[in-house]
Structure 1
Amino acid sequence: MTQPIKLIIDTDPGIDDAMAIFYAAAAPDIELVGLTSIFGNVTTEQATRNALRLLEWADLPDVRVAEGASKPRALPAFPPSHNVHGDEGFGTLLAETPKGQACDESAAAFLARMAREYKGELVVCPIGPLTNIADALDLDPDFASNVARIVLMGGSLDEGGNITPHAEANIYHDPHAAERVFASGANITMVGLDVTHRILCTAEDFDAIEAASPRLGGIINEMSRFYLHFYTTVGKHDGCSLHDPAAVIACTHPDLFTAQSVSVIVPCDGDTAGATQRAHDGRAAVNVLMSVRSEDVKRQFIDEMSKLS
């Protein structure tokens, strides 16, 4: 087996964030070296608490958490997505006060330092708005070249949006940060709605995960019921999309996806604010995932989640 990748997940937990973090905890090809918190599904303060709590549940006390930005770069703060993830981020499950605390560094400083320490090795996987990543680029001009890859969950090239007709939520919630990241020249893979809308898990799938892994699988199954119910309220009865887990899986299993090399620009105002569009200004291209072996990704997710203690 090859060496596990060194991974930092930038996260706003969030039910599918919890799935992604537990997946990373279970996967033998991932060394989780940190979590950074960001607003989005919940407030940044809640995201920090939830990240710490998830690590305690997963028995990963040595994984550090760094608290990130509390609002977008230029826009007013958005309300959290309580209708999707519940008031505390975990559906109806209470997010108890964690025993641990976030480290003293800001998320941007932690990201920049880890990218220097693990130059050419560190993979950063943002699964919320990209504010912390943009702040790290501003803080350290070498951040874009120090990281091996940025594999982000966000955007939509051809699929259309999920918060406006054009925009996916993570990009929409800080388009100025997203534009900074896409223009940075970093090695970026965009895991957007073009693929995540095609990877669905059902209630029966989560029941199977709990049967194989009663403790942590049971936690995920309880959270999933709220998430699945939200999907039914918008007319989707065939399961919930594995948005954030798909991004983490793409970090280690790129063979399960097909990418296009596309230069991406993000409009920051008007009707198309937060869209991820094809750019024609000479900027570096990024890898945009456009098709997926959906059943194989789903099987990978279920198999690893079933190994949780």
Structure 2
Amino acid sequence: RIVEITGGDIPSLLDEGKVVIVAGFQGVDRDGQVTTLGRGGSDLSAIALAAALKADVCQIYTDVEGVYTADPRIVKTARKIPQMSYEELLEMASLGSKVMQARSVEFAQKHGVVFEVRSSFNNEPGTIVKAEVPSLEDVVITGVAVDKNQTKVTVTNIPDKPGAAAEIFRELGEGGIIVDMIVQNVGRGGKANLTFTVSKDDAPKVERILADACAGLEGASASVAGDIAKVSVVGTGMRSHSGVAAKFFQTLADNDVNIQIITTSEIKISVGIALEDAQKAANALHEAFGLNG
């Protein structure tokens, strides 16, 4: 975690017309030891320096030309987004888009750093990311995201009483597990069922944690039900437009896509579906919300 940023001699060197090259991905801790910034540290270094120097814009050069309305490998008609808000990119990053790590976007948002994601291989404009973008009345959805690294977990026969679910999630939290989509069924006969998703990589650890947690919950049992895909639509236009959910779910129904789990926020709708339906669902939603161009 970055606690302080200093520009050092960079401003004076720039004033002298010199080109300054700074090593990214690293910093100095309180003991003066050089340490790495972790995953996404290079982008974070650039944005942190831009904040310290009060730069007008920070350009992030990558192997893609910007942020697209969907992953072009999944949706062939995906288009580059000229500009988008921090909120939208944060949602897309958390939903499976791999253009930038969420922590870099969060830092830019906190310090008001405008940045551009663009290609290292050409001079084409990229995607500008900033606090607010001009509102277009007909633009409701900015992009479609697909995350195939999800596993569905179900815990059955949980005592239907306060604190039971909290105990399960406390154990998972202490084990370093990040839980994503969650749904709890209405209890019957004093019992309830809980379904949620976790990263596929965490599935074996989750099984071990839940085996211990369920032992103390009066007959509860857990199962890792298998890998699923999370497909989402994101857009700040959802705040001011009705009918988005209706179109979303009708589009999936028209394409014979069965929904296993749902989660929403103010600017996104996500569903867990079978892995084999992910590409079909993403393409159908991309077209339904007018993102094909």
Query: TM over 0.5, yes or no?
Result: no
TM-score between the two structures when normalised by the length of structure 2: 0.24
* Higher percent of residues as strand: 2
Larger radius of gyration: 2
TM-score between the two structures when normalised by the length of structure 1: 0.23
* Higher percent of residues as helix: 1
